[in-house]
Amino acid sequence: MKAVPIADDDTFRQLVERHRPELHLHCYRMLGSLQDAEDVVQETLLRAWRARNAFGGRASPRTWLYKIATNACLDVLRQRSKRRLPVGYGSPADPRFPGAEPRPEVSWLEPYPDSLLDLIDQRAGPDARYDSHESVELAFLAAVQHLSSRQRAVLLLRDVLEWSASETAGLLETSIASVNSALQRAREAMKRQLPAGAESFVSQIPARDTRREIADQYRQAWEAADIHRLAALLKEDVTLSMPPVPSWYLGRAAVAEFLVRNPLAPEWQRRLRLHPTGANRRPAFATYHREDNSDVFRPFGLMTLRIEGEMIAEVLGFVDPTLFRFFDLPAMLSS
C-alpha cells in the first residue's frame, strides 16, 4: 500500500494534540513517572514528526501514535530500574527512632494530577479488567512496576485500554500467541504483587463529596496540630510513607507517633500549610513550607490520601517540589 503522508504542519499538530492527553497517561502508566512521561511524549511527537510522510494509513492515527509511544517507553525501560514505593522497599520503621535518610538515587513512583485525568474520557468498557479508577491507583501502578517491560505493555494495552490480542500483537510486532502468553504471566504477577484486599479497596472508596469532607477534616486537624482529631480519621492499619525517604510506618499508633514527633512537633507547627488538589483520583494536598522569620510559604511536596469507607487507609507524601509545575499550583503562599 502506498504511503499516505500527513499533509501539512497544521494537520499534524491537530492530530497529535487530539491524542496527546491519553498518550501522556499511557506513558505514565508504563513508566510510573510523571516527568519521564512528559519526556517520552515529547520523544513520541518528534518520532511521529520525522515519520509523518511515511504514515501508510494501514492503521488509525491513534494506533500509529500509540505504537510510537509504547516503543519509546520500552526504550526507556531497557535502561532504567523499576520504580518503587517505600511500602515495597522494606519493613515498617519505628517512629520513636530517626528514620532513614532520603534515597534520591532510587527511582520512586510519582503521582499524576487529576486535572490531566479530567482531560481524558476514561470510561472502561465491558472487556476492561481494570476500571479507570483502578488503573491510576498508586497500588496498581506500583504492582505494574514488577512486570517485565513487554508484559507491562501487553497488560496495559489489553486490560486497561481494551485492545484486542490481534491489535496488541500488531503494535508490538509479535504473534497473538506471544501476546496471550505474556498477558497470562502478567495477570499472575499482578495477583502476587497487589496488596491483600486490593481487589476490593477501590469498591470501598466513598463518593467524591465524602472524600472531600474527610480530606478537609484531615487538613483542619493537621493545621490545628490536633493529633487526637487526626488519629481518629485513620484506619487501624493505616500506612504512611514519604519518598524519597525509604522509611514507612504501619498502624494508627505508629503513624500518630511519627506525626507528633515530626511535622506536628512544636518546632514545625505553623510552618507547613496544606493547599487542596487531587492526584491519582485521591484527595491530595500541596504542602508548602515556611522558613524561620519568613511570611512566605514555598513548595515542599505533595500529600495524597487513600480513603476507604469513611477513614484514611494511606497517607502517601512525595517530598519533591519539582512536581508542582505539573499540578498548576501557586508558586508560593502568603501567611
| 84-101 pLDDT per residue, tens | 999 988 899 999 998 889
Contacts of 43 (CB under 8 A, 6+ apart): 72
Domains of the chain by residue range: 1-80, 208-334
For 139-183, the pLDDT digits (tens) are 999 999 999 999 999 999 999 999 999 999 999 999 999 999 999
pLDDT > 90? residue 215? yes
Which H/E stretch holds residue 208?
A: helix 208-223
Residues 77 and 291: beta-carbon distance below 8 Å: no
Residue 211 exposure: Cα atoms within 13 Å on the Cβ side? 21
Per the listing, cell 477534616 goes with: 217
For 24-73, the pLDDT digits (tens) are 999 999 999 999 999 999 999 999 988 877 776 667 888 999 999 999 99
pLDDT for 217: 97
Is domain 1-80 annotated with CATH 3.90.1150.10?
no
Angle CA(323)–CA(325)–CA(328) in degrees, nearest 5? 115
Confidence of residue 136 (pLDDT cuts 50, 70, 90): very high
Instruction: Give the residue from 252, 237, 249, 239 showing the smallest Cα distance to 92.
Output: 249
For 224-235, the pLDDT digits (tens) are 999 999 999 999
> What's the chain's Rg over C-alpha atoms?
21
Q: Which three cell numbers stand for residue 252?
A: 494508627
The whole-number average pLDDT for the span 8-20 is 81
DSSP per-residue string spanning 114-183: HHHHTTS-----TT-SS-TTGGG-HHHHHHHTTS-HHHHHHHIIIIIS---HHHHHHHHTS-HHHHHHHH
CATH number of the structural domain 208-334:
3.10.450.50
The Cα 236–Cα 256 span in angstroms is 11
Contacts of 119 (CB under 8 A, 6+ apart): 21
Residues 83 and 149: beta-carbon distance below 8 Å: no
Q: Which three cell numbers stand for residue 262?
A: 515530626
pLDDT for 2: 44
Residues 181 and 216: beta-carbon distance below 8 Å: no
The Cα 323–Cα 325 span in angstroms is 6
